[in-house]
A and B are shown apart, each in its own frame.
Chain A
C-alpha cells in the first residue's frame, strides 16, 4: 500500500519530466536521423540552454518562458555554426570522425563555459505555485515545462510534415543523393537540421533550469539520458523520442518505489544495451 502511495506521488512527476527529457532526446535523434551523426556536443548545449534561462531571468529579469523565444533562435544559429565549422567536412567520413568532431565542440564549449561560469552549481529560483490532485502535488514549473515540450514537439511535427523546408529535411534524411538530384540544397538542409537539433537541446535545457539546479557540466547527464531515450524510441525518429522520454520518466518514477534510487542508472543503461541488441530500431518499431 505504501508503495502504491509512493507511486501515485512520483508517477505524475516522472511523466512531466519525461516530456522534457523527450525534447532533449528529440534534438539528438533528429540529427542522427537526417545525417547519421551522433552529436556529442549535445550535453554542453543543454547546459548552455540552462545558462540562457539563468542570464535571461536573473540578469535581465525577463520571464523564463518568454526567454525561450530568445534561447531557441540562439540555439538554432549556434547549431548552424557548429555544423558549418565542425561537421560539414566530415559528414561523409567514417563515424569516428564525426563523433570526434562533435566531441571537440563539446570540449570547446565546456572549456569556455567553465572559464565563464566555473563548474559550481547555479539555481534559478522560480516559483509558479503548485497544483494538488488528491495525494499528489504537481509543481507549476514542471506542468508548464511539460506543456512547452508538447508544444515544441507539435511544432516540430507540423514543421516536418506541413512545410516545404520540413519536407526537404525528410527527403534528405530518406536519401540524400536522390534529394540532391531533385534540386534540394542538401548542405543548407543539413545545416538547418543540425540547427533544429541543437535548438531543441537548448529549449530542454532552458526548461530544466526552471526546476533543477545546474552547472556547466550537468548537460552530460541529460546527454546520456538522451541516448537511452533515443534508442528506446528508435534512433532517427523524433516523435518516438517523446514516447521514449515518457518511458524513461515513468521508469525513473517507478524504480525508486521498489529499489534504492542508485539502481536507476543500472536499470536504465542495462535496458539501453538490451534494446540496442534486440530492437535496434527502437521499442516502438520505427521503420528505417
Chain B
C-alpha cells in the first residue's frame, strides 16, 4: 500500500473543507461566504465534540461552554487589552483547555447520564456566573470598538480573513481528530468507550486518557469562540452559552456517524443545509423545529450509527475509504 492510500481516510475530509473554502470565491456571492462560515464552524465544533463523544463515549450536553468561555477570555483580551487577534485566539484555546482539564479532573469520574447532567450544570453555572462577572461586562457583555478592525485592513477585510481562519481551524480539528483516531492514545479511548473497566484491566489508565480527550476536545471550540465573537463584534452571555447549540452539535455528530472522522463533517453539512432550507421554505418555516425533531427521531431510532457508520456496516469495502 502506498503512502497516500494509507491515509485516504483524511483525504476526503480535507477535500470537503477545501471545497467549502473555495465555494464563496467560485460563486462570488457574499451570502455564500456566510453560509460556508457557519458550516465550517459547525464542522470544527462537531469534530471536536466527536473526540469526547464518539471516541471516548462520554455524552457532553454542555460542550458549548468551551466555545463561550474561550471566546469570552479571548474577546476580553482583544477588546480591553488590545492584544492581537492571533494571541487572543491562542489564549481562548488555552483557557478552554485549562478549564476542561480542571473540570475533567472532577466530573469525568461520573459515568453515563450523570456525566451528561453534570455538563448541563456546568454550562448553566458558567452562563449564570458570567452574567454576574463585571470584568466581562455582566449581562450586557462586551462590544468591540470598530477601530479594532483597522489593524486587519478594515471590517470587510477582517471578515474575509475570519472566514479563512475558521477554515484553517476546521482543518486543524479534522487533522487532530484523525491523528487521535489512528493513534495508540485513540485506541485507548475506543477501549474506554466499549468498556471502561475492561480497558483499565488491559492497561489503559482511564482517568488520564479521559481528561486528555476532554482537553483536546475543548481547545478548538475555545479558539472558534474568539474568532466568532471577533467577527460578530460583540459577545453576550446569552449568545455564548446557548444550551440548544450543544445539542445541535450532538445531533450533527449522530447524524453523520459518531466515532468516525468523516461523520461529524457530513453531519454538520447535512444539518446546517437542512436547517437553512427549512428556515427559508414557505411551507416549513413555522414548524421547522418540529421537522428537524422528527428527522432526528427517525435517525436515532432506525440508524443509530449515523450515515458513515451505516455505510461502513453495510459495505465493508468502504471501511478503508471512510475513516
Determine the distance from Cα of A97 to Cα of B107 in the docked complex, in whole angstroms: 21
Interface size in chain A (residues, C-beta < 8 A): 47
Determine the distance from Cα of A273 to Cα of B120 in the docked complex, in whole angstroms: 9
Instruction: Tell me, yes or no, whether B140 is within 8 Å of chain A by CB.
Output: no
**Known contacts A93-B304, A273-B121: does B116 contact A99 (CB below 8 Å)?**
yes
* One of B106, B124, B254, B291 near A277 (C-beta < 8 A): B106
A108→B301 contact, CB < 8 A: no
Instruction: Tell me, yes or no, whether A218 is within 8 Å of chain B by CB.
Output: no
Most chain-A Cβ atoms within 10 A of its Cβ — which of B128, B287, B300? Answer: B300
Instruction: Tell me, yes or no, whether A285 is within 8 Å of chain B by CB.
Output: no
Determine the distance from Cα of A117 to Cα of B109 in the docked complex, in whole angstroms: 42
Smallest beta-carbon distance A41→chain B, Å: 10
Instruction: Tell me, yes or no, whether A107 is within 8 Å of chain B by CB.
Output: yes
B301→A89 contact, CB < 8 A: yes
* One of B106, B109, B247, B258 near A103 (C-beta < 8 A): B247
Instruction: Tell me, yes or no, whether B297 is within 8 Å of chain A by CB.
Output: yes
Residues of B within 8 A of A224 (CB): 120, 124
Instruction: Tell me, yes or no, whether B122 is within 8 Å of chain A by CB.
Output: yes
Interface size in chain B (residues, C-beta < 8 A): 45
Smallest beta-carbon distance B147→chain A, Å: 32
Residues of A within 8 A of B124 (CB): 224, 265, 269
Instruction: Tell me, yes or no, whether B276 is within 8 Å of chain A by CB.
Output: no
- Closest A-chain residue to B278, C-beta based? A111
A265→B128 contact, CB < 8 A: yes
Main secondary structure of the interface of A (DSSP, over half): helix
Determine the distance from Cα of A220 to Cα of B121 in the docked complex, in whole angstroms: 13
Instruction: Tell me, yes or no, whether A11 is within 8 Å of chain B by CB.
Output: no
Instruction: Tell me, yes or no, whether A254 is within 8 Å of chain B by CB.
Output: no
- Within 270-287 of B, Cβ neighbours of A (below 8 Å) are at 286-287
- Within 243-288 of A, Cβ neighbours of B (below 8 Å) are at 260, 262-266, 268-270, 272-273, 276-277, 280
B292→A276 contact, CB < 8 A: no
Instruction: Tell me, yes or no, whether B113 is within 8 Å of chain A by CB.
Output: yes
Determine the distance from Cα of A227 to Cα of B122 in the docked complex, in whole angstroms: 13
A38→B301 contact, CB < 8 A: no
A104→B296 contact, CB < 8 A: yes
Residues of B within 8 A of A89 (CB): 301
Instruction: Tell me, yes or no, whether A105 is within 8 Å of chain B by CB.
Output: yes
**Known contacts A96-B53, A265-B128: does B289 contact A107 (CB below 8 Å)?**
yes
Residues of B within 8 A of A262 (CB): 128, 131-132, 139
- Within 131-162 of A, Cβ neighbours of B (below 8 Å) are at none
Smallest beta-carbon distance A235→chain B, Å: 8
- Closest A-chain residue to B127, C-beta based? A265
Q: Which residues of B contact A (CB under 8 A)?
A: 53, 57, 59, 61, 106-107, 109-110, 112-114, 116-118, 120-122, 124-125, 127-129, 131-132, 139, 243, 247, 250-251, 254, 258, 286-294, 296-297, 300-301, 304
Can you give 17 A-B contacts (C-beta < 8 A)?
Answer: A86-B297, A90-B304, A95-B59, A96-B250, A99-B59, A99-B116, A107-B293, A108-B290, A112-B290, A114-B286, A115-B286, A224-B124, A227-B120, A269-B128, A272-B121, A273-B121, A276-B107
Q: Which residues of A contact B (CB under 8 A)?
A: 32, 36, 38, 85-86, 89-90, 93-97, 99-101, 103-112, 114-115, 220, 224, 227-228, 231, 235, 260, 262-266, 268-270, 272-273, 276-277, 280
